[in-house]
Amino acid sequence: MSKFFWNTLKVSPALLGAIFAASSAYATPSVSDQKAVTVENTTEPSVKLPENTVLEEDFVSQSNQPQNNAGFDLAQQMPVVDSTDGNANSEVLEQIELYNSNEINGDPLGQVTNINQLRDVSPGDWAYEALRSLVERYNCIVGYPDGTYRGQSPTTRYEFAAGLNSCLDQIVRIIEQQGGGVSREDLETLQRLVQEFEAELATLGTRVDNLEGRVSFLEDHQFSTTTKLNGEVIFSVASAFGEDTKVDGSGEDVDDNVTLSNRVRLNLDSSFTGKDRLRVRLESGNITRFDRATGTDMARLGYDANNGNDIEINDLIYRTPVGDNLRFWIGASGFEFEDMADVYNPLLESSGTGALSRFNRRNPAVYRNGSDMGAGLNIKFSDSLGLDVAYLTSSNGSDPSDKNGLFDGTYTALAQLNLGLGEALGLGLTYAYSYYPGGEVDFSGSVGSPLAEDPFDGVAASAHRFGVQGDLKLGSKVSLGGWGGLVLAEAEAGAREGDNADIWNWEARVAFSDFGKEGAVLAFAGGQPPKATNVDGGPEDEDTSYLVEALYKFPITDNILLTPGAYVIFNPNHDDGNDEIWVGVLRTTFKF
């Protein structure tokens, strides 16, 4: 039996080519399906281990690294086909593609075990009877649940050839695994079928040859086998304006000229195991800080970055899974708690595609603590319960001098309990403890009043931080969310040692997805920026500021997002003697 089979292969090169075509066409994914690096876990819990993928949850550009799963040179094994007739081959391939595709009109392929289920095949053809016999013996034709091939016409020769490939593949597996098991009559039937459909089977060989050529080109020209390059570019047209003078009491005029500025980020994401990720981010920009133009931190843009367009390493962060329920993080630059923890503001969190104001991106009481490096863990207890813990320091963690380093300078220890309350509601409960040496105190994360930032005149201070934040989805189009935050600060040195202050903030928002266009988002958000109250031995914020923002995220293409919007600050710096400050923005974000 085995000798007869291999003699048959010698006599019929078309059969050999068809067998290889079958094993490749059904086992090798298309070029677009292969990824150079897989950096995500293979399973995702409902209480997620936060991914924070490319450029803060933005579009991900993926390199491709196709593979030849067959393990040999398919081009040398295939029958020679004249491919100069481009129109004819294009029509043939189009019809075969309809059959070979993994999914058509949303219906997955099913296994057909009886040729009578393939209603579009004519029972009067001799090939029908031959294929029926093979199908019923070897269960080798792939069809659709409703029993049709769904070609451009009923049971075309090209569709039939694609099915024959599947039978050839199945019979080869039986012979290789069992050393026989296929009758002489069935092999003779296969040889006759191969001869009858030689041209169609050869076309499949051409398809594989073309694929191999594309694979070789991509392998020779790809960026890296272990690293993906992703980019984000922001063009920002913006202006801050109000009354004639700044609200900080300097007496200077508000800088209210319209500006055009930019920010560029390049992410190099590398993986060494397929599940871990090392991110190196390069950044440059000249987007000014509007606190200097207006006299209040409350006016800052959520994406400001001004280093004179010099290129700097902004992020250097590594993460890796530890077993099934843990993920470990360590960062040496640009590492903040929101990189590893959910801030429960999915539509407005991103600096590149989220809220226009700095305040409306995330709860400053817990997420804006001056951190730049450290380590953390995501812990999954169940599908609805998780815990994030971290120890973070400022950029001075790399300085060995007094009042610096990892444990003698600014630091924050955090824990966040994540609750999945059904599919629609997510809730995060966060606690943190911070310590700041003298001269480095910033309890508000540069989004509140001067007193909320430092209520103790620059002396060393500590704080207990509390935050609750959530996001509620009302159907597929509407989401509600918000947060509340409290910082209990205490002076740790000097004449004010032991003095206390309470620093409050809150925010609420509503967003409408697919508003006017698929992928578009209309959002309104606002609240009270950090405000210092109950300050021992010093002044406190007597009045209350409110920041209100409206924006519309409109996708021009999959990679270009236009975001017009504006926000206004009432009673800036919590002083009702100050007039409103307005900020108008037109932000364009490019992703690649």
Mean pLDDT of 459-472: 97
Give the count of beta carbons closer than 10 Å to the beta carbon of residue 329.
23
Largest Cα–Cα distance of the chain, in whole Å? 102
pLDDT(347) > 90: yes
Q: What is the pLDDT of residue 268?
A: 96
pLDDT band per the 50, 70, 90 thresholds, residue 157: low
Bridge-partner residues for 513, per DSSP? 521
pLDDT(145) > 60: no
- How far does Cα 67 stand from its chain's mean position? 24
User: Which range among 227-236, 322-331, 400-409, 568-577 shows the weakest confidence by mean pLDDT?
Assistant: 400-409
Which residues, 6 or more positions from 86, have their beta carbon under 8 angstroms from its beta carbon?
Answer: none
User: Which range among 79-88, 373-382, 385-394, 466-475 shows the weakest confidence by mean pLDDT?
Assistant: 79-88
Distance between start and end Cα atoms, the chain: 57
Query: Domain spans of the chain?
Result: 2-30+68-214, 227-591
pLDDT(197) > 90: no
Give the count of beta carbons closer than 10 Å to the beta carbon of residue 189.
18
Mean pLDDT of 203-225: 68
- How far does Cα 397 stand from its chain's mean position? 29
Per the prediction, the chain carries an average pLDDT of: 79
Above pLDDT 90, what percent of the chain?
57
pLDDT(325) > 70: yes
Give the count of beta carbons closer than 10 Å to the beta carbon of residue 86.
8
- Cβ burial of 220 (10 Å; 0-12, 13-18, 19+) is exposed
pLDDT(209) > 70: no
CA distances from 555 to 2, 261, 360, 552 (A): 61, 20, 21, 10
CA distance 557 to 515: 15
Please tell me which residue, 13 or 181, carries the higher pLDDT value.
Answer: 181
Pairing of strands 312-321, 110-112: unpaired
For 277-324, the pLDDT digits (tens) are 999 999 999 999 999 999 999 999 999 999 999 999 999 999 999 999
Mean pLDDT of 250-262: 92
pLDDT band per the 50, 70, 90 thresholds, residue 225: confident
Please tell me which residue, 549 or 140, carries the higher pLDDT value.
Answer: 549
User: Which range among 158-162, 246-250, 389-393, 470-474 shows the weakest confidence by mean pLDDT?
Assistant: 158-162
CB-CB contact of 535 with 499 (8 Å) = yes
> Tokens 């066409």 sit at which residue?
25
3-state secondary structure of 490: strand
Q: What is the pLDDT of residue 133?
A: 77
Please tell me which residue, 514 or 44, carries the higher pLDDT value.
Answer: 514
3-state secondary structure of 312: strand
Class of the CATH-defined domain 227-591: mainly beta
CA distance 503 to 443: 8
Closest CA to 375 of 347, 405, 414: 414
pTM for the predicted model, two decimal places: 0.68
Q: Which two tokens stand for residue 137?
A: 């013996």
